[in-house]
Amino acid sequence: MRLQAFNSDCPKRLQWIGAAAACALALGLAACGTATIKDAVPGARRTGTYPNLNIPQKAATEQLTDEEAAAAAARLNAVRNDQESAPAKPASEAERLRRLGQTHVEEALEEIEN
8 A C-beta contact, residue 25 and residue 18: no
From CA 100, how far away is CA 107, in angstroms rounded?
11
pLDDT value at residue 6: 52
Res. 73: pLDDT tops 70? yes
CA distance 27 to 35: 13
Task: Report yes or no on whether pTM surpasses 0.85.
Answer: no
Q: For the residues 28-40, what does the mean pLDDT come to? A: 65
28 or 56: which leads in pLDDT = 56
Position 45 pLDDT exceeds 90: no
Residues 35-57: what's their mean pLDDT? Answer: 76
Spatial neighbors of 38 by CB under 8 A, at least 6 apart, are: 44
pLDDT classification of 1: cutoffs 50, 70, 90: very low
What does the mean pLDDT of the chain come to? Answer: 79
Q: How many residues in total does the chain contain? A: 114
Query: Quick one: average pLDDT of 30-48?
Result: 68
Give the residue, 78 or 30, on which the prediction is more confident: 78
% pLDDT > 70, the chain: 72
pLDDT for 18: 81
